[in-house]
Structure 1
Amino acid sequence: MNTLNILLIEDDMIEVMKFKRTISKLELHHNIVEANNGEEALKILQKKDELPDIILLDLNMPKLNGIEFLNILKQDDLLRHIPTIILTTSNNQRDLLECYKIGIAGYVLKPLKYEDYVLKIEKLLGYWSINELKQV
């Protein structure tokens, strides 16, 4: 399995801690870069020195929400290919459809139970770590 460079875009620090705890519990050695909102994520991505293999994106964020971030991301020729997976509590069908129209790689609902969350993250990262990712 490949080590992934993951950009985690999440404004809720409890969710960030939960994700990191899950990575640790699963003994995964992925590199995680955090952004607290879409604006911060764009600043990280604009450096373009070390692009992530995948982006995990929350939808409900201040300043620049997930859908606004996606629209900007997909207009950039260098960044548009990065697989972006929505990791959210929102099961709003309009959000889901809008995200797929923009071009996401997946839409994962965060379960309430921690054990279920761990299983979902394990499957999600397991898939992307064996997937042949496009290298720029």
Structure 2
Amino acid sequence: MSESHTFQAEPAQILLVEDNPGDVRLTTEAFEQGQIETDLHVVSDGSEALSFLSRDGEYTDVPRPDLVLLDLNLPGKDGENVLEELKDDPTLRSIPVIVLTSSSADEDIARSYERHANAYLTKPVDPDEFSQTVRAFEQFWFSVVRLPPAEETS
């Protein structure tokens, strides 16, 4: 696909909520190798994620993410709680949330969709497969899907 087919004028803002440094590195590298220009913001726990999304404290000047990549297994407030709080907040619920986790358990998948996750991806163990998964995700979410317009805050 050539650049002329890309409708994106500015880099896609992605919030990665992940506490595993290896997975953060793999995700970052996969986005760097991708076709879509992205700004990847990383937080390592659920409380930080909610502060980032609410632009509280040290996060007052961060951009509103176009999309959230959320691990379920986080220290402190876990990914399920983050997903539930995010989707319960009328100012944040339109942000698509993709669960990207190592769990392939049916109950985790079901609970994530019950809490209104937009997609559920199981992290491949193999680094090359992981990178391919992130690039396929990137291509789909930023070239095929129409994301909701950014909401202006007053």
The TM-score range, normalised by the shorter chain, is over 0.9
How far apart in 1 are the matches of 2:34 and 2:13?
Answer: 16
Q: How far is 1:27 from its partner? A: 5.3
Deviations for 1:15-48, whole angstroms, at most 9, x for unmatched residues? 1111111122335420011110110011111117
43, 50, 54: which is aligned to 1:35? 43
Q: TM-score, normalised by structure 2?
A: 0.83
2: CA distance, partners of 1:81 / 1:61:
23
What are the within-5 Å matches in structure 2 for residues 19-58 of structure 1? Answer: 19-26=27-34, 28-47=36-55, 50-58=63-71
**Unaligned ranges ≥5, structure 1:** none
1:78-93 equivalent positions in 2, closer than 5 A: 78-93=91-106
The residue aligned with 2:117 is 104
- Flag structure 2 segments of 5+ consecutive residues without an equivalent: 1-5
**Distance (whole Å) between structure 2 residues aligned to residue 119 and residue 35 of structure 1:** 22
Q: Deviation digits for residues 38-75 of structure 1, max 9, x if unmatched? A: 10011111117621000000000111101011111111
SS of the equivalent of 1:64 reads coil
> Which residue matches 2:75?
62
RMSD between superposed Cα atoms in Å: 1.4
Q: In percent, how many aligned pairs have the same letter?
A: 29
Letter in 1 for 2:31: I
Distance 1:58 1:29 in 2: 22
Within-5 A mapping of 1:116-127: 116-127=129-140
Alpha-carbon separation, structure 1, partners of 2:37 and 2:112: 29
Deviation at 1:114, TM superposition (A): 1.5
Equivalent-residue separation in structure 2 for 1:51 and 1:77 (angstroms)? 14
Offset of 1:124 from its aligned partner? 0.5
The two structures have a TM-score, normalised by structure 1, of 0.93
The equivalent residue for 1:134 is 148
User: Separation in 1 of the partners of 2:12 and 2:18?
Assistant: 18
Q: Deviations over 1:96-134 (max 9, x none)?
A: 000001101100111111121111111101111122111
| SS in structure 1 at match of 2:48 | helix
